[in-house]
Amino acid sequence: MDSNTTIQRQRPLAAEEGIAAVVFDLDGVLVDSFGVMQQAFARAYAEVVGEGAAPFDEYRKHLGRYFPDIMRIMDLPLELEEPFVRESYRLADRVRLFDGVRELLSDLRGRGVRMAVATGKSGPRARSLLDGLGVLGYFEHVIGSDEVARAKPAPDIVLRALELLDTPAHRAVMVGDAVTDLVAAREAGVRGIAATWAEADVAALLGAEPDAVLGVPDELLALVAPPR
């Protein structure tokens, strides 16, 4: 995809608007965890449901939501959560940061931009994963779906991030790879940025009318304050 062309179709978002904080989704934005997710989901499905192929393609359509919410949508047993989480922890060393993410986080910190993570994962699992990758320290707060009343697409987790960052909505953006991220951002009054470097459903993201679409992580730098 030609990300520059796509960005031009979106409403303008300029650095002079004073972006002081970035709220990131985790999976599909900061980390490439889809292979681990697929293996963990397959193992959980085999243990709880039994024979047959685990419907991972359907599961991926709902990423961004809290795991129990996805199970309810898919009409699958909530008991899948325990083995899914267990296997996710076991395989966590296979998760990798996307190319350019570590450099992006360093550049944003150098520009004085405050950062948080708002993820569909549980808080402890997200913090453990980021710590293992050596980037937890870039974020002032990492908030999981188990730590708010309502998970995405409700705005609660984004609003909580803004509260903790002490940043007004008009001075923040949220970067996500799923429609649920963009909906949560909009409902929180925050501009939503679509990340497309993880084989995202670009057509669905464009349908959600993001404020900008990024093809690679460092394109975000054009939207925030210049270096101090």
Q: Per residue in 150-162, pLDDT tens?
A: 999 999 999 999 9
Measure Cα distances from 91 to 82, 94, 205, 209 in Å: 14, 6, 29, 35
DSSP 217: G
pLDDT tens figures, 6-45: 333 344 444 445 789 999 999 999 999 999 999 999 999 9
Measure Cα distances from 95 to 33, 36, 37, 114, 199 in Å: 5, 7, 9, 24, 16
Rounded CA separation 85/189 (Å): 32
pLDDT at 12: 41
Task: Say what the pTM is.
Answer: 0.89
**Secondary structure of residue 167 in the 3-state scheme:** coil
pLDDT tens figures, 74-114: 999 999 999 999 999 999 999 999 999 999 999 999 999 99
Domain boundaries, the chain: 3-9+16-32+95-223, 34-94
Tokens of 173: 């953006």
**Span 3-9+16-32+95-223: which CATH code?**
3.40.50.1000
